[in-house]
Amino acid sequence: MNGFRFAGIAAGIKKNGLKDLGLIYAEKPAVGAALFTRNKVVAAPVTLGRKTIADGRIQAILANSGNANCFTGEQGLADAKNTAETTARALGISPDLVMVSSTGVIGAPLPMEKFESGIPQVTAALVEGGLEDFSDAILTTDTCRKIVRRTGRIKTDSGAREFSILGIAKGSGMIRPDMATMLAYVLTDITIGAEDLKQALTHANERSFNRITVDGDTSTNDTLVCMASGEGEAIVGNEPSFAAFQTLLDEVCYDLAKMVVKDGEGATKVASITVKGAQSREDAFRASEAIAHSNLVKTAIYGEDPNWGRITAAAGRSGACVDQDRMDLYFGEVAIVRQGRWLGPEAEEKAAALMKKDEIDIILDLNLAEYSDHFLFCDFSENYVKINADYRT
């Protein structure tokens, strides 16, 4: 990616000896935008990050796993500032250009001695090819890296100008974002203004990270950052160029969000629920969200059971306007309910066969108006309970 370098090392923050301290560095100050958790219990790096990104400029991101630096009071905020300042000194830049983010266990203070020794090491390790090391350094219960690369073009009078977008994310549990996922970083070499970047990121987030759930829990540390280096040949300067950038950014964020769901703690299947025919956008959102968050729906998907009653019941309790006698329900292209009536065992058998796939599409048509919305979610298995029962021990 033009204009960026990466690093990831094992600084000893995690007890298992895996990589736990990562750094993204832009060769010159980049245009930046960020979105954060809506949880009222927020980690120190989120409090600091909101101030850091306020002027729309950023040059470095220091991220650690193994410790969330949340519920750590004034000392936690002082430690977050200290790590930003230490990183800035090592890079020779202003602390105001360094964002820090953390993920891990809530309540424990940062092991500052690990940062004091680790920051010089991670700074020295910066290379253009260090992306995978950085990705490894931000993982917690994740089972895999989450990296997406895309290239797009903007048409100009003198020909097409190419630009690239790179996305890196971590997230597996405690996923009901209400803004983003646990941690996500999107980098681009395009030239774009801060206001346009924030607008594009907000739009992309709303249709991706804000439409996923693993377990219905909103993290204290959710952070989504986008940095634009301006090192590429493409410029966002008019509506068509903005639209081209927006389209590609939407794709990158959606693909990252889907990776998070697919890697959900204990997950074996990814499901999408689309609610259409709602009376309003709010109703479409409410109904799809309620279905995606339903533990009964999620366990039915794990059991490969097309339990349509659980889906329609979740829509009914969502607060959306529904008429059970007008509902149609599909698993893929297989209709299992029409006009509020079950279509019988043969239809259910066909739907059950589809549920053996790794990815399942569910469509609920309320047949009331024209509005629609969607959610991505995963099933619940026994492993989710095991992972979270043992998380701190």
181 as an active site residue: the answer is: yes
Check: CB of residue 6 under 8 Å from CB of residue 24.
yes
**Catalytic hit among 181, 220, 223, 312:** 181
Vertex 48: Cα angle to 43 and 54 (nearest 5): 130
> Active-site residue numbers?
181
